Amino acid sequence: MTPDLMEAGAKTRAAYEERLASQQGKTESGGRRAGYGRLVKLGEPDFAHGVALYLEDITVSFDGFKALNNLSLEINVGELRCIIGPNGAGKTTMMDCITGKTRPDAGKAFFGSTIDLLRLSEPDIAQVGIGRKFQKPTVYEQLSVFENLELALSADRRVRASLFHRLTGLQLDRIGEVLTLIHLKDEAQRTSGLLSHGQKQWLEIGMLLMQDPKLLLLDEPVAGMTDEETERTAELFLSLEGQHSLVVVEHDMKFVDQLTQGRKKVTVLHEGSVLAEGLLSDVQNNEKVVEVYLGR
């Protein structure tokens, strides 16, 4: 690409951002008032109350069968919450509702205190800062690890809006940071198709991280991983805790134990509702929980 084309791209982007800022009322003193005298931009989530995700009485029916049944759940900003529960408990359906893939029949779902998720489309939900990892890794196999991360960066609407986008120093730094986090620094130039299953999973998590989501939803992230990969994944999630909120659905109790470190609460779902909440050691000894797992 010639330098003048790149410059044209940069100008297009600057103009776009200016327009966006003026639409959002983001001026020197701009912004929208959001309680307690705080200012938040229109469409920006507000986390001042410390809640990242709020679900209240969510119900989802499939032909009369309630996959979710008055499900209520609260995840705090920066919290790492593990969700467990037998097959068919509604864990994936819950993620489908949060990400706009499935519309509940009833209930409330808020991201922060201002964003009503039930009014947003699936792409808009991703754009406001909710990233989701499905079970099967979906990386671009022909591209290198680096190129996959670069592509994830350009999925950002603001970057895509510029016709000719070139990586800025900051973006290169971010790719470097993410490569370190996901243990793939030495594989940056490797074709992604050649990575192990676990490495592909990490790359996909890295692609999510490029968007800097406030909330990350991870559905069975260590399924199919070796023990060592599983342990490294736990370390990765623990390093993300605090900066992101994480909701991790897993059947692997050793992994859940590693993530909760004996002090974080886990949520047990069963038949579309919360059956129990508490320390892993406590819920594992909870009679109701033992019953649903053993199917008695």
Ligand X SMILES: Nc1ncnc2c1ncn2[C@@H]1O[C@H](COP(=O)(O)OP(=O)(O)OP(=O)(O)O)[C@@H](O)[C@H]1O
Which residues sit at the interface with ligand X, rule CB under 6 A? 62, 67, 85, 87-93
10/143 Cα distance (integer angstroms):
25
Tokens 């119900």, residue located? 59
Query: Considering only residues 170-189, where is the footprint of Mg ion by CB under 5 A?
Result: none
Please identify, using beta-carbon distances, which residue of 68 and 234 lies nearer to ligand X: 68
**Backbone angle region of 246, left / alpha / beta, with phi > 0 → left and psi within -120 to 50 → alpha:** beta
Shortest distance, CB of residue 293 to Mg ion, whole angstroms? 15
- Map residues 89-128 to x or -, x wherever contact with Mg ion holds by CB under 5 A: --xx------------------------------------
* Nearest CA-CA partner of 217 in 83, 49, 21, 19: 83
287/282 Cα distance (integer angstroms):
10
Please identify, using beta-carbon distances, which residue of 85 and 213 lies nearer to ligand X: 85
Tokens 């991790």, residue located? 248
Shortest distance, CB of residue 114 to ligand X, whole angstroms? 27
Please identify, using beta-carbon distances, which residue of 90 and 129 lies nearer to ligand X: 90
258 binds, options Mg ion, ligand X, none, Cβ within 5 to 8 A by partner type: none
73 binds, options ligand X, Mg ion, none, Cβ within 5 to 8 A by partner type: none
With b meaning 16 or more CB within 10 Å and e meaning fewer, what string describes 156-166? eeeeebbebbe
135 binds, options ligand X, Mg ion, none, Cβ within 5 to 8 A by partner type: none
Q: Which residues contact 275 (CB under 8 A, 6 or more apart)?
A: 85, 268, 269, 288, 289, 292
Tell me which stretch binds Mg ion (CB under 5 A): 2-10, 46-54, 83-91, 234-242: 83-91
Shortest distance, CB of residue 89 to ligand X, whole angstroms? 4
85 binds, options ligand X, Mg ion, none, Cβ within 5 to 8 A by partner type: ligand X
Sheet (strand 65-76) strand order: 65-76, 51-62, 106-111, 115-116
Shortest distance, CB of residue 98 to Mg ion, whole angstroms? 13
Residue 77's CB is within 10 A of a number of other CB atoms, namely 19
How many Å is the maximal CA-CA distance in the chain?
A: 71
Please identify, using beta-carbon distances, which residue of 31 and 86 lies nearer to Mg ion: 86
Burial class (CB in 10 A: 0-12, 13-18, 19+), 224: middle
Joined together, the tokens standing for residue 48 give: 């001042």
Shortest distance, CB of residue 118 to ligand X, whole angstroms? 18
88 binds, options ligand X, Mg ion, none, Cβ within 5 to 8 A by partner type: ligand X
Q: For Mg ion, which residue has the nearest CB? A: 92
Joined together, the tokens standing for residue 161 give: 């809006």
Tell me which stretch binds Mg ion (CB under 5 A): 71-79, 84-92, 96-104, 143-151: 84-92
Please identify, using beta-carbon distances, which residue of 171 and 284 lies nearer to ligand X: 284
Shortest distance, CB of residue 135 to ligand X, whole angstroms? 8
Residues 165 and 9 sit within 8 Å (Cβ to Cβ):
yes
Binding residues (CB under 5 A) for Mg ion: these are 91-92
